[in-house]
Each structure stands twice: as structure tokens, then as C-alpha cells.
Amino acid sequence: MQNYILTKRQKGVRIQIVNAYKMTLCSDELISRRNMMELLNRKKTGKVERPVKVLQFGEGNFLRAFVDYMIDIANEQGKFNGDIVLVKPIEFGSLDRFHDQECQYTVQLRGIVDGEPKRINRIVTSVADAVDAYGEYQKYADYAKLDSLRYIVSNTTEAGIVYDDTDRLEMEPPKSYPGKLTKFLYERYKHFNGAMDKGLVMLPVELIDDNGIHLKECVEKLAVLWNLEEGFKTWLDEACVFTSTLVDRIVTGYPRDDAEELWKEFGYQDNIVVTAEPFGLWVIESSKDISKELPLPEAGLPVIFTDNQKPYKQRKVRILNGAHTSFVLASYLAGNDYVRESMEDELIGNFMHQTIYDEVIPTLDLPKEDLLEFASAVDGRFRNPYIKHALLSISLNSVSKWRARCMPSLLGYVERKGELPKHLTFSIAALMAFYTGSEIRDKALIGHRNGQEYNIMDDMAVLEFFAANSSKPSAEFVNAYLSNENFHGQDLTKVAGLSDAVTAYLEDIRTLGMRKAIEKNF
């Protein structure tokens, strides 16, 4: 687990592991201490000045608790020696909180470490500045001329990597992130006269498949739209590197409920403190080997360089996301409300474990040791006492989620084993039971658990299907659902024995209730 939990291999003076505990102070004392407390600043952290190597589009919680956290550790261990400049890439919002603290802030990782709830505190000192691409355009643009700059990191949301044909080169800056990046790269190209050693490495972490490929396509389209010279297009292709990445860490953000308690623990006020889980994974896919110049793994960090990230994406989707989708609906109908509560429920916890270890892992092609290690990490993440993850929030759009996350495992198991995977098959019946209802109200299908209503949230076509079909006899309902190619991309009634098995499970749930149905079958 040392690849994923950043504890033992980090011996820096700014890391502190403390046992989980809850402090209470009267409100008067909190106000008094707040007024007395000094803001975190460079003098307090003893910041070391380093050359700026990273320009980061986005100053949000995820990047600061993930990328910047890792770079800070690499700096402390003498593996990187580079600072980061944050760029606010949108017009609204303020950087005042960053400037007030001279871009120094704390990351607190909260979760299960070595079987115990722990909190890991680290002051990140590797951010040199924060700049507004709109309000400080010239300052921002001048970074394109910085000799030491090498990396562009971005997290501009899933909608950020889009081609906008209304962007123009003369805009200061262009509206879209690809527009800003294209102009920034072009200014760098011109300043250094197309020098091949002044290209940049793009590290987008936006949550879309092949994010680097899509980003490069947008930049190339804009270069054509703006009629930029062929030399620039060649420089983009040969001197620059557009990586595609996969990132994994739950970042819970600013701890509003206990921020002042944390300040007391820290001994200083930090208005941009960010919390996250200990688990982290960063997979970087690149056609060019950049591992030697970005030696994050040498600092004990959970970073994997590869020429193909798809097996790691598959592992995450099938094990982590697939586990969620396969058990949360059953768990909710069994009386649980949260993920951690589900894991502490022996019946549900065993169901989840058997699904992953007996049915999902056998369908994956990565080394078994890697898969088992990842599955073990998932177990710890689901048990995190600091994250209250509601089952109903996970249930959103479960029909499409099941298709993407669970169906490949079910079909892969049938192909490899020649029989149905019992738990994944049961998860279909659990989904159908959860989606049972006849009334659509305020864009939600109304379900019932122990006489109480709950909202089923999905696309309207999905909700209308279940409203029309979920009251039918089990066999008829199952046949209608499994044969719906809009839901599954194929007719699942053609999978040998699946309809009969799902029908039997659904009938058990309807007659016995969820808990007894699981007890009977597993």
C-alpha cells in the first residue's frame, strides 16, 4: 500500500501524523483565538525560492491537494526543484486569499492509514504566485517568456477542453482554456524563435477520456483558425508533449465545519486549507518518455508513467466505480444510507468483497498483485471515517453507470468462465428493485423503502420506462429491462440464463425483502 498512502516514505519536517480526535472550544474562545492567530505566510513556512517550472490553469482544491502536494514532496526530497504559479483562468472570483497568505497553505489528508484513522498535515510551500489571466493579463502572458518553465497543468472541468471558434488571437486572453493555451504557446514559440528545447509538457487532469489528445486537437484547430505559421505547428508536434492522464483522489475541500479547530491544532490561521483522502494515483500516458525529468515516483509518490493508461482506467472503473454501482442500491434497500455504514454491515460488506475479488478481478488483465493492492486500497477508502458518502447521491444515473462499470465485468466473466457471475447478476435485480415506482414528481421517480419515499434520479426516458414497467410481474419486467438496447447497447436477454437468474433474484427481493434475499442467495 505504500504506493498509495503517502506516509512512511515521507520524512519531511512539514509532515505530521496525528490520531483522529474532535476538539471543542466555546465560541468566545474560538473568536478570541481567531483574532489572535497569525495568517500562514512565507516567513512562517521558511519558503525556499525555486525556479518556476509549472504554470497551473486552475487554483481549485483538487489541484492543490493532488498535483501541488506531490510536487511539494518532490521538492523537499530534492527530486524536482521547481515552483508553481497558479493561474485563475476565469473572469469571476478573487485571488485575495492566496495573496494574503503568500500562496502558502496546508493540506490535511484524512483517512485510514495502516488500519487506523489518521490525519496527515503538510504545509505546501511550492506555490510561488497566483495570477489572474484577465485582471493581470500582461503578468500572466510574460510567463510564456520564462526560460525555466516546462510544464502546464490544468483542471478546467470536463467542459474546459473544448474548441471555441469564436476565440481570436488578439483577445487578451481568449475565452476558452484551449484558446488561452494556444496563444500562450504561440507567444513562447515567437519569443524563443522556435527553439526546440523550449517546448512545454502539457499535463491536463480534466476528467475526460484521452484528455491530452483532445487538448492537442483543440490547439491544432485553433492554430489553423488563426492562420499561424507551419513552423509553429511543427514546434507543437515535435517540441511539445501532450500527455493524457488519469487521476484518482477524493478531495473534500475546505473544512468549513472544523476549520477553526484545525487552526488551533496548526497554531496559525489558514483560509485556504484543503482536506483530502490519503489515497492518490496519477497515471501519465505519453508518447515521449518524460519520467526522467519528472521523477515523482523516486520521491515515493503514486505516479505511473506509461504509453497506455487504458488498463489503469479499466481497473479504476471496474473495481472502484463498479463496486459502488454493484452494491449501493442493494445496500440502500437493505437499510443503509452511507458507504462507510455499508462496509460495516457484514452482509453488505461481504457482498461487495465477493463481487470485486471473485467476479471483477478475474476479468482484468493487469498483474494480479496490482489488482489486489488496488482492491485493498478501495476497501480502506470506503471505510474512511472522514468522508460521509450518501448512497442516494451515488445512485444518480445508475442505469448508464451499470452499463459502463458493471456490464463489461459481467460479460467478461461469462466469456472467460462460461457461467454467470452471481453477485453482478444480483446487482441487476437490485437496481430494478431500487428503480421500482409509478409516480414521477419534480423530475424524480418516487421509490419507497420501509414506507418512506426516496427520489430516483436519472434521465427522463429511463424514469418513464420504470414508471411504466416496474409494477409488472417479475419475468415480464426483467424481459423488458434486459432487452432494452437503449440502456445496454445490446439485448441482454441473449446472454444464456441471465433473464431467468435476474427474475429469480428479483422475485426473492420482492417477496423476502433485500436483506433476506441476499442471505438466501449468498
Contacts of 522 (CB under 8 A, 6+ apart): 350, 351, 354, 422, 423, 426
Contacts of 129 (CB under 8 A, 6+ apart): 52, 85, 86, 103
Q: How far apart are CA 313 and CA 309, in angstroms?
A: 6
Q: How far apart are CA 497 and CA 501, in angstroms?
A: 6
Task: Enter the DSSP assignment of 440.
Answer: E
Q: How far apart are CA 482 and CA 466, in angstroms?
A: 12
Measured between alpha carbons, how far is residue 330 from residues 91, 226, 396, 506 in Å? 44, 54, 14, 11
pLDDT, tens digit (0-9, with 9 covering 90-100), for 286-318: 999 999 999 999 999 999 999 999 999 999 999
Provide the residue count of the chain.
Answer: 522
**What order of strands is seen across the sheet that includes strand 127-132?**
127-132, 83-88, 52-57, 151-154, 201-204, 241-242
Q: Which residue has the cell 454491515?
A: 345
Question: Over the range 108-124, which residues count as b (16 or more CB within 10 Å of their CB) and which as e?
Answer: bbbbbbeeeebbbbbbb
Q: How confident is the model at residue 16 (pLDDT cuts 50, 70, 90)?
A: very low
pLDDT, tens digit (0-9, with 9 covering 90-100), for 183-242: 999 999 999 999 999 999 999 999 899 999 999 999 999 999 999 999 999 999 999 999
- Of 53-67, 156-170, 408-422, least confident by mean pLDDT is 156-170
pLDDT, tens digit (0-9, with 9 covering 90-100), for 65-109: 999 999 999 999 999 999 999 999 999 999 999 999 999 999 999
The answer to whether 178 and 204 are in contact (CB under 8 A) is no
With a threshold of 0.85, does the pTM exceed it? Answer: yes
Contacts of 304 (CB under 8 A, 6+ apart): 281, 282, 283, 284, 297, 312
Q: Residue 415 corresponds to which cell in the numbers above?
A: 466469456
Cβ count near 461 (within 10 Å): 10
- Determine whether 343 is exposed, middle or buried from the number of CB atoms within 10 Å of its CB (0-12, 13-18, 19+): buried
Q: How confident is the model at residue 115 (pLDDT cuts 50, 70, 90)?
A: confident
Q: How confident is the model at residue 12 (pLDDT cuts 50, 70, 90)?
A: very low
Q: Residue 112 corresponds to which cell in the numbers above?
A: 485510514
What the chain holds in terms of domains, given with CATH numbers, is 15-126+142-308 (3.40.50.720), 311-521 (1.10.1040.10)
CA atoms within 13 A on the CB side of 512: 15
Q: How far apart are CA 272 and CA 408, in angstroms?
A: 41
